[in-house]
Structure 1
């Protein structure tokens, strides 16, 4: 009898423990077709993975440990929907564990990955994080990633929330060694990075300010579009079925150098009077109309200017989305970017069109230069359409 009671108690305790814990599997798949003009070697018609919503799968869970506190974890992997390939490491998008409390907030440690603080800026993007948007004119700077990190997010206090990150380098030299890397042409290790974010919400408005910095492996800010300080402020305001967007971003890299932009220190050909920028600014305005519960239409204009003679560029975009269910959405976007005579920003993601000349404007490296930037003073136009489903 005692043995039976003991087994029942163990099973009951086990059931209670499972009732207080949960694990959720989730993911999304996004594939579409894209056509772009103004490429260095002509026009391009391609199939693309994640032009809106980066394909991913993962699991997240919670365990109630009492005192209104939960242990939380998240593991997330990115993949290419065209060939099924996984990123460089399995859980490169996020691998964190932490504690969450309704009164004290949430603290997490681990690989922040694609949830580096700067990526929260996509809440301010009228094009909802589609490929042509808030990251285009800053050559992918807003795609920043980070690992070896700590994060704290406060509870919501009268509409205000504070969030901070600090990413260690796990190196005895303090600055070097972080395997997280931004999208720039160097592709090398980052140094220390981190920042702070403030958000404030009302019934109609969402306001956000972010200060974020990413250093190179020597602890310097040597490339505006990769290793730099960023300060951003903006907001959204909803009026009926229309949401208005606006914002401003300033990038600063006081130690900018040829090495920071070109790796070996030997720059590709640049227009006369230009040199690596130490600052670049961006501002944008846009609106999104939720015409029906399933349909939205968006329009936005973005403008950037870089110092040291590097000119300016303007991006014009239109988007449409149509949800056929709670899980599946069809989407499309058309955009054109126009450059001044000393600028050559393209419609790429920052990896394929970093700062520097393409193979047409720089004939000396034409055999090895695979950049997709337009020519200096040129333009690019692109359109894509696809479908994303979530589970």
Structure 2
């Protein structure tokens, strides 16, 4: 009888422990097709994984620690679901552990990855950071990532929240990367406020180059972004502004030569980026999106405007169809592409019909359309 009582007590304790912790497998798959014109090698029809959003899988869990504290963890990796290949490291998007408390906020440590603050700009993007969206005219600067980091987020104080990050290099030189091709120290702070029908968000973040300086406005720079949304019936309006600064940028630091650039053009040290847009929730299953984005770069790099229109159609709570069309118009000394191509000439070789990137020729435009299906689990 005594052994039976002890056995029941052990089982009860185990059941209680299991009830206080959880581990969830989650993910999403995005596959579709796209057609783009104006590439240096011609027009292209292709399959794609992630035009609406990246495909990923992950594990996340919690454990009750008592006194209102919870241990939390997250492991997340990105995949190309057209080929089955990993996109980067196994858990390159997130690999963090932390403590969460409703009263005191949330602290995390580890690979912040895709949680770098600039990626929160999707909240003020009418195209939700699709392929043709807020990151296009800044050549993917809003897709920054960070490792070896710390993050703290406050509780929600009546709609007001703050978040801060600090990511070190693990190098003896505080700001420099451990390798010549790596990324230096990153840090940032974010504030968001939701009130009635409105929402505003301000993000300041710094991403340094391998040498510890701000040497590439589209990759290693200071970014100040402010944007907001406002709901009017079935329509949500969007607007925002972003300023990028890289005072240490030179042609050498961004990997171009004077001969490859148009006359009077050199590596930009600042970019001003503005946008407006709207999302119309037509009914419970369908939504239409539209946005206009404009960017100006200094040092003779001209300006570009991106026009977009898209839509989604829900097949269920977890699965939807999507489509978007985009057109980017470049001034005579700009060559921004629809695919977040790097800064510089495409180095097109007519003899071999090859180019080093998908940027159009200077002053030329690009147009594209894609459609696909997204499911989440």
Please indicate the TM-score interval, normalised by the length of the shorter structure: over 0.9
Aligned position for 1:67 = 67
How far apart, CA to CA, are the structure 1 residues paired with 2:271 and 2:366?
Answer: 20
8 Å CA contact 2:258–2:266 kept in 1: the answer is no
1:289 to 280, 285, 308: 280
3-state SS, counterpart of residue 137 of structure 2: coil
Aligned position for 2:311 = 320
How far apart, CA to CA, are the structure 2 residues paired with 1:374 and 1:100?
Answer: 47
Q: CA RMSD in A?
A: 1.7
Aligned position for 2:52 = 52
Once the two structures are TM-superposed, the CA of residue 173 in structure 1 deviates from its matched residue by 1.8
8 Å CA contact 2:323–2:372 kept in 1: the answer is yes
Once the two structures are TM-superposed, the CA of residue 268 in structure 1 deviates from its matched residue by 5.9
Aligned position for 1:231 = 224
Once the two structures are TM-superposed, the CA of residue 364 in structure 1 deviates from its matched residue by 11
Q: How does 1:376-387 map to 2 (within 5 A)?
A: 376-387=362-373
TM-score (norm 2): 0.97
How far apart, CA to CA, are the structure 1 residues paired with 2:102 and 2:71?
Answer: 12
Unaligned runs of 5+ in 1: 180-185
8 Å CA contact 2:41–2:355 kept in 1: the answer is no
How far apart, CA to CA, are the structure 1 residues paired with 2:218 and 2:350?
Answer: 24
How far apart, CA to CA, are the structure 1 residues paired with 2:359 and 2:365?
Answer: 9
Deviations 1:121-149 (A, max 9, x none): 01111012210000000000001011001
Q: How does 1:207-286 map to 2 (within 5 A)?
A: 207-262=200-255, 266=257, 269-286=260-277
Q: How does 1:54-133 map to 2 (within 5 A)?
A: 54-133=54-133
Structure 1 pair 348–385 and aligned structure 2 pair: CA distance change class (3 A): same
3-state SS, counterpart of residue 79 of structure 1: strand
How far apart, CA to CA, are the structure 2 residues paired with 1:382 and 1:368?
Answer: 20
Once the two structures are TM-superposed, the CA of residue 319 in structure 1 deviates from its matched residue by 0.5
Aligned position for 1:355 = 343
8 Å CA contact 2:320–2:373 kept in 1: the answer is yes
8 Å CA contact 2:78–2:88 kept in 1: the answer is no
3-state SS, counterpart of residue 253 of structure 2: helix
How far apart, CA to CA, are the structure 2 residues paired with 1:172 and 1:92?
Answer: 24
8 Å CA contact 2:251–2:258 kept in 1: the answer is yes
How many residue pairs end up in the alignment?
377
How far apart, CA to CA, are the structure 2 residues paired with 1:256 and 1:89?
Answer: 29
Once the two structures are TM-superposed, the CA of residue 6 in structure 1 deviates from its matched residue by 2.1
8 Å CA contact 2:126–2:279 kept in 1: the answer is yes
Deviations 1:340-387 (A, max 9, x none): 0000001013xxx21101124xx6998874210011000000000000
